Amino acid sequence: MPDLLVVGSVALDSVATPFGAVREALGGSATFFSYAASFFTGVRLLATVGEDFPREHLDLLRGRGVDIASLQVSKGRTFRWAGEYGYDLNEAKTLDTQLNVFADFKPVLAPELRRIPYLFLANIDPALQLDVLHQMDERPRLVALDTMNFWIRGKREALGRVLAEVDVVTINDGEARELAGEPNLVRATRAIAAMGPKTVVVKRGEYGALMFSDGAFFMVPAYPLDSVFDPTGAGDSFAGGFVGYLAATDRVDAPAMRQALVYGSVIASFAVEDFSLNRLIRLTRQEIDERYDAFGDLTRLEASPR
Amino acid sequence: MPDLLVVGSVALDSVATPFGAVREALGGSATFFSYAASFFTGVRLLATVGEDFPREHLDLLRGRGVDIASLQVSKGRTFRWAGEYGYDLNEAKTLDTQLNVFADFKPVLAPELRRIPYLFLANIDPALQLDVLHQMDERPRLVALDTMNFWIRGKREALGRVLAEVDVVTINDGEARELAGEPNLVRATRAIAAMGPKTVVVKRGEYGALMFSDGAFFMVPAYPLDSVFDPTGAGDSFAGGFVGYLAATDRVDAPAMRQALVYGSVIASFAVEDFSLNRLIRLTRQEIDERYDAFGDLTRLEASPR
C-alpha cells in the first residue's frame, strides 16, 4: 500500500510571467504535490477532474507511479485557473478562476485509503479537509495541511477546527501574518503553533522557508537561482518533497523534519525553473541529492575558533 | 596600533517607528560600525562632528576602546538625520537631512593611519572613499566598503572606480539590483563581483544576508526576533561585526569570511532590538558568542541518510 495520500485539486493553469506563458497546462495543488512526492515514496491522489481532462496528463502521473485510482472523472469541465506574475514573482495576480467540477468536490475515501499513515490535505475548503481527516479509520502518523488567505478570510472557524487536529501546517509568510493577526513573523509562527500544529512551516518564496517545530526554529534559504521562470506550484512541490521524504523514511523526529524541509526546498527550487511540471518531468533523483548537498554547502559554518 | 580603520559619518538621528521614537540620538555609519567592531578588535574612527556634539557620546565611544583621535570637531553643527519607519521596517522614510559639517568632510589620514591592515569605507561619497584608499601608504590586507542608492544614482562613475579597488562591498538587496541593473539577485550579485570586489555581501533586512565570495554563495538567515524596534544602523553594525571579526582573527580565507558574516548578523540582530546604540551598549561578548551558536543551530542540518 502506498505510504502517502494527498487530497486536493487538479487543474489546468494558464500562466503568464515576464519570461513566457503557457495555456491550460497541467496544474493544481494535488498534482504538484503528488508529482514531487513521487520522487520519494508511493502517493495516492484523491481529486476530481472533468471529462475534458487530457489523457496525456493521466499518463504522466501514472508514469511517475502516482496512484490515480481515486482521481474521479466528473461530468463537466476541469478546474481552470489563469494568473500572471510581474517581475516580482512573489505574488500572482489571478485573472480568472473557473471551479467547474471542483466546485462540487466532496472527497470520499475508499476503504483502502483510510489507514494510510501520511496524509496531506492540500489547499481546499478547511471543512472538507476536516471531513477527510475524520474519514480515516486510524489517526495517520502525520497529517499536514496547506491553506491560503481565501480560507483564512472566509472560513476561519472551520480552519481553526482542522488546524487543531493536524501535525504540520504549511503557509505563506503573508498568510501566516494574516492568520495570526500579527505582523512579526516569529510571533505569528508561534501563535499558529498554539492553534494546534506542532510544526509550522512558513514559505517565503525567494527568501526560503522557516520551520517552527517543537519549540525551535530552523531556517532554509532559497537556492540561489539565476532564473525563476514560474513560481506556480512551488509551494505544493515544496510540500510534496517535505511530506514525501518523511513518508519515505517513516520518521517524524526533529533531524528528519529538518532534512525534509531541505528536500522540500530542493524540489521547489527545481519546480520554478520552468512552467507547469516541465522541470520536474526532466528531474532525476541524482539531481535532487546533489542539490540537497548544495543546500548544505550554502549554510555550512564552522564553529567559531574562540 | 589598532587593526581597523573606519571612515564615515557620525550623526544625531531622530527616528520614529511604530514602537517609539528618539530625538537626536547618537547615530551615523561610522558610529555603529566602530561600536560594533569594538567587541572584536581595536578601531580607529575618522569622521567629523560639529561643536554641538555632546561630550557624553565621545565618552561612550572612548569607553568601548574606540580610538577617536581622528574624530575631528569642526566649526558648525553635527550632521542630523530624521526618519521614520512603518510596520514594514525594511524601508526608512527620510524626513530630514541636515549635512552641516559633514557636507565639507574631506578625510585626511594622519600618518599613523596609513598602514592599518583593515579598512572600512562607510557610506560616504565614493570619490572620498577612493581618496582615502589612495592615502594609504600600504595596500590594506582587506578593504570593505558600503554604499547606497544615492551614490549609485548620482556618482556611478566614481563608485565604479572605487569598487574596482576594494575586496568587499556590503549593499542592500534593492541597491544591489539597482547597481547591477538586474532584477535577479543572484545575477546582480555576480555582476557586482565582476565590477571588482571578490566578496559581495548583500543585506536583506528581515531576510538575513547572502555572500558571494570566490565564486560560492553563503546564506545567513536573520535571527528570529520577537521584536524589532529600530533597524537604523543595522547595516553598519553588521559591517562592524563582519570586518571587526576578520581584523581580530587576521584571516580572510573562506571559512573565516563565513564566520564573519554570522558575527555581522549577530551584532545586527542585537542592534535592532532597541533605538540608537542602546542595545549594543548593554551587550556582552558572552551574549554575542551565545547568539553565534544559536545561528549555527538555526541552519544545522545532518547529511541525508541516503
Place of cell 554604499: B147
B208 vs A: CB within 8 A: yes
Pairing of strands B11-17, B199-203: unpaired
Place of cell 551587550: B283
Tens of pLDDT along chain B (306 residues) come to 459 999 999 999 999 998 899 999 999 999 999 999 999 999 999 999 999 999 999 999 999 999 999 999 999 999 999 999 987 777 789 999 999 999 999 999 999 999 999 999 999 999 999 999 999 999 999 999 999 999 999 999 999 999 999 999 999 999 999 999 998 999 999 999 999 999 999 999 889 999 999 999 999 999 999 988 899 999 999 999 999 999 999 999 999 999 999 999 999 999 999 999 999 999 999 999 999 999 999 999 877 766
Q: How far is CA B225 from CA B18, B210, B233, B274, in A?
A: 16, 19, 17, 12
Summarize the confidence of residues A217-237 as an average pLDDT: 94
Report the length, in residues, of chain B.
Answer: 306
| Option in B216, B218, B298 nearest A219 (CB) | B298
Chain A closest CA to B204's CA: distance in Å? 9
Considering only CA atoms, give the Rg of chain A. Answer: 18
Per-residue pLDDT tens for B197-228?
999 999 998 899 999 999 999 999 999 999 88
Closest residue in B to A290 (Cα) is B304
Tell me: pLDDT of A1 over 50. no
All 3 cell numbers of residue B230? 529600530
Q: Are A89 and A17 in contact (CB under 8 A)?
A: yes
Contact partners, residue A28, CB within 8 Å, separation at least 6: A8, A9, A10, A11, A13, A47, A79
Distance CA A209, CA A225 (A): 15
Query: How many Å from the N-terminal Cα to the C-terminal Cα in chain B?
Result: 53
> Given an 8 Å threshold on Cβ–Cβ distance, is B217 in contact with A184?
no
Q: Are A212 and A222 in contact (CB under 8 A)?
A: no
Question: Quick one: which of B240, B268, B243 has its CA closest to B256?
Answer: B243
> Given an 8 Å threshold on Cβ–Cβ distance, is A184 in contact with B255?
no
CB atoms within 10 A of CB B54: 13
Give me the pLDDT at residue B302, please.
79
Q: In the beta sheet, which residues pair with residue A200?
A: A169, A212
Q: Which amino acid is at B305?
A: P
- The three-state (H, E, C) secondary structure of chain B, written as one string: CCCEEEECCCEEEEEEECCEEEEEEEECHHHHHHHHHCCCCCEEEEEEEECCCCHHHHHHHHHCCEECCCEEEECCCCCEEEEECCCCCCCCEEEEEECHHHHHCCCCCCHHHCCCCEEEECCCCHHHHHHHHHHCCCCCCEEEEECCHHHHHHCHHHHHHHHCCCCEEEEEHHHHHHHHCCCCHHHHHHHHHCCCCCEEEEECHHHCEEEEECCEEEEECCCCCCCCCCCCCHHHHHHHHHHHHHHHHCCCCHHHHHHHHHHHHHHHHHHCCCCCCHHHHCCCHHHHHHHHHHHHHHHCCCCCCC
Distance CA B134, CA B154 (A): 22
All 3 cell numbers of residue B32? 555603529
Torsion of CA B160, B165, B170, B173, to 10 degrees: 30
| Option in A183, A186, A299 nearest B299 (CB) | A299
Per-residue pLDDT tens for B45-65?
999 999 999 999 999 999 999
**What value of ipTM does the predicted structure carry?**
0.89
Per-residue pLDDT tens for A159-175?
999 999 999 999 999 99
All 3 cell numbers of residue A83? 494568473
Place of cell 500544529: A197
| Option in B217, B255, B302 nearest A255 (CB) | B302
Torsion of CA B191, B192, B198, B200, to 10 degrees: -120
> Given an 8 Å threshold on Cβ–Cβ distance, is B255 in contact with A302?
yes
| Option in B204, B227, B259 nearest A184 (CB) | B227
Distance CA B9, CA A57 (A): 62
Closest residue in A to B224 (Cα) is A186
| Option in A217, A249, A296 nearest B298 (CB) | A217
Distance CA B32, CA B240 (A): 7
Buried b or exposed e, range A156-171, using 16+ CB within 10 angstroms: eebbebbbeebbbbbb
User: What percent of chain A lies above the pLDDT cut of 90?
Assistant: 92
| Interface list for B 84-103 with A (CB within 8 A) | 87
> Given an 8 Å threshold on Cβ–Cβ distance, is B226 in contact with A187?
yes
All 3 cell numbers of residue A230? 514560474
> Given an 8 Å threshold on Cβ–Cβ distance, is B220 in contact with A87?
no
Contact partners, residue A253, CB within 8 Å, separation at least 6: none
- Give the pLDDT band of residue A303 (cuts 50, 70, 90): confident
Q: Is the Cα torsion angle B64, B70, B74, B80 positive or negative in sign?
A: negative
Distance CA B298, CA B265 (A): 13
Chain B residues in contact with A225 by the CB 8 A cut-off are 184, 186
Q: 3-state SS of chain A: helix, strand, coil percent to 5?
A: 40, 25, 35
Tell me: pLDDT of A296 over 90. yes
All 3 cell numbers of residue B228? 524589532
Chain B closest CA to A298's CA: distance in Å? 5
Distance CA B288, CA B245 (A): 12
| Option in A262, A298, A305 nearest B218 (CB) | A298
A259 vs B: CB within 8 A: yes
Q: Which amino acid is at A206?
A: E
> Given an 8 Å threshold on Cβ–Cβ distance, is B221 in contact with A221?
yes
Chain A closest CA to B306's CA: distance in Å? 9
pTM for the predicted model, two decimal places:
0.93
